[in-house]
Amino acid sequence: MFAFKRKTVLIVISLLLATGLTFLQYRYFKSMAESDKKIQVVVAGADIEAGEDITGRIGLKTIPQSAYVKDMYLPNEKVTGYAKVDISAGSYILKNMVSAEKVPVVEEGMRRITISVNLTSSLAGKIRPGHVVDVGWVPKDQKEASKIIAEKVVIFDVVNKMGEDTTKKDEKKSQYEKESKIPAVVTIIVTPEQAVAIKDYEARGSLFLMGY
């Protein structure tokens, strides 16, 4: 008899604990759902190819606030510029996907190649993606003459020694941090044959850019 009563008490206690746990879970998930408000963010209203102007080609999508990341555009933010990458219709448009300046496009048959530069060899750092330049070469020794090795090539990207875009404005950086604006590496768009020749010349001397 005692064992039966004890078993009954244990069953009742278990049911009470299970009920309490279920109630707590219900309250927890309900509060989570209520606190997770919905917000709208900007998405592509149509397929946008790299290099195309995104102005007026956007839409809005409602998402949970917990899914929001700081690189997303909100409806009250101005969304203009050029796509750095292909963006499919309905996909989120992130700030790092958009350039204020026209984006160079790598056409079929062309290649990107990166060369080292400094303040002097990069036209005092006054170069931007989309600019057209010639590439000159100065040999390490005097057995060969300096010459132009590539003409009218398009600059694809310019970064500093930290790998940061020199054209990007960063309000957190002091205006006196001049080193962040000094180019260290430049990516240019060339043919495969030019790419091989340029890297060969770079190994045998120094390269410099000539502007128009």
Q: What is the pLDDT of residue 85?
A: 85
pLDDT along the chain (212 residues), means of 10: 58 64 66 72 93 92 91 93 91 90 86 93 89 95 90 91 65 55 89 96 95 90
209 and 185 Cβ atoms separated by less than 8 Å: no
Q: What is the pLDDT of residue 125?
A: 86
Q: What is the pLDDT of residue 187?
A: 94
In sequence order, what are the residues at sequence separation of 6 or more whose Cβ sits closer than 8 angstroms to the Cβ of residue 152? 132, 133, 134
Cα–Cα nearest to 138, from 205, 75, 70: 205
Question: What pTM was computed for the model?
Answer: 0.59
Class of domain 38-99 as given by CATH: alpha beta
CA distances from 204 to 54, 101, 146, 147, 148 (A): 43, 34, 11, 13, 14
Structural domain spans, the chain: 38-99, 111-211
Residue whose entry in the numeric block shows the structure tokens 């949970």: 64
Q: What is the pLDDT of residue 165?
A: 66
199 and 113 Cβ atoms separated by less than 8 Å: yes
Q: What is the pLDDT of residue 176?
A: 44
